[in-house]
Amino acid sequence: MTLHDWQQHWLDHLRGERGLAELTLKNYQRLTAIDLEVLTQQGLTQPEKLDVAMLERLLVGWRRNGLGERTIALKLSAWRTFCDFLLHQGALADNPALSVKAPKIPKRLPKNLDVDSITHLLELPDDDELAIRDGAMMELLYSSGIRLAELVSLDRDSIDLRMGQLRVTGKGSKTRIVPVGRHAIAAIKKWLKVRSNWLATRAELALFISKRLTRISPRTVQQRLNFWGHQQGIIGDLHPHKLRHSFASHLLESSGDLRAVQELLGHANLSTTQIYTHLDFKRLAEVYDSAHPRANKVKK
């Protein structure tokens, strides 16, 4: 099989065996597609010809084309995953991508909105059907801290309005239950009436739909949030990740419970949550001093 054939085999494996989201699969496909075309033009179509020198030439090409360090790191990560698959399939003797040094990426913390900005953002018109839908999406993103991919994959039966709970399928097809706040529940109830009018007798599983009466796309959600961000005077672009980060930051500031925030966000590792919520050392020191038996507590 050619590298193009193996790429499709790899994506099918990630979809079926690993259960990765379609958005993740599209990213893997996009990150490797152009490189495969370049290799084909150079006559490198078989996996056994993949080596460190070839991948380093690709890396030089990425830099020459002006790709940023973050994009280069993502592309190299995709190639490592692809080569690892080829290795396990017996098409490679080793993984050459592991020997290519990835650029160091400075960890940039996403900016969150303060509570007043969130409140102002969510004061949308209640006589516009698109605003009602968009308001419900934003309320849910901020209320539950779910990811964009999780939002668009929600079905109508994913939410229990009576119990105030949401069943979310996250990365790796892992399911978790998260609470939904009263403002989000009220917004979703309004949206469900609009949704019912839009669909009439048509059957549709998706909780959030577009005007074409199909499941809303990630791109549409991003566009609508950015529209309302500018409309409501929010400084900078508004995107789903900013609402997720605001949810985590505000919850952590109020509760100080890092483990709970980790569970709600669906993070596999606590270290991810620490970076995500920019927990500073002062807060960690306060928790240590108040809880650890060997801390320098002030004696009463």
* Domains identified in the chain and CATH numbers: 3-99 (1.10.150.130), 115-240 (1.10.443.10)
**Predicted pLDDT of residue 242:** 86
Rounded distance, CA 298 to CA 190, Å? 53
Q: Enter the pTM of the model.
A: 0.58
Rounded distance, CA 241 to CA 243, Å? 5
Q: Tell me how far CA of residue 9 lies from CA of 1, 15, 184, in angstroms.
A: 10, 10, 41
More confident of the two residues 279 and 35: 35
Active site (catalytic) residues: 147, 171, 241, 244, 267, 276
**Predicted pLDDT of residue 186:** 93
Contact between 22 and 16 under an 8 Å Cβ cutoff? The reply is no
Residue 171 pLDDT > 60, yes or no? yes
**Predicted pLDDT of residue 175:** 84
**Predicted pLDDT of residue 220:** 94
Residue 283 pLDDT > 70, yes or no? no
**Predicted pLDDT of residue 268:** 56
Mean of pLDDT over the chain: 83
Residue 106 pLDDT > 70, yes or no? no
Residue 245 pLDDT > 90, yes or no? no
- CB neighbour list of residue 119: distance below 8 Å, 6 or more residues apart: none
**Predicted pLDDT of residue 189:** 95
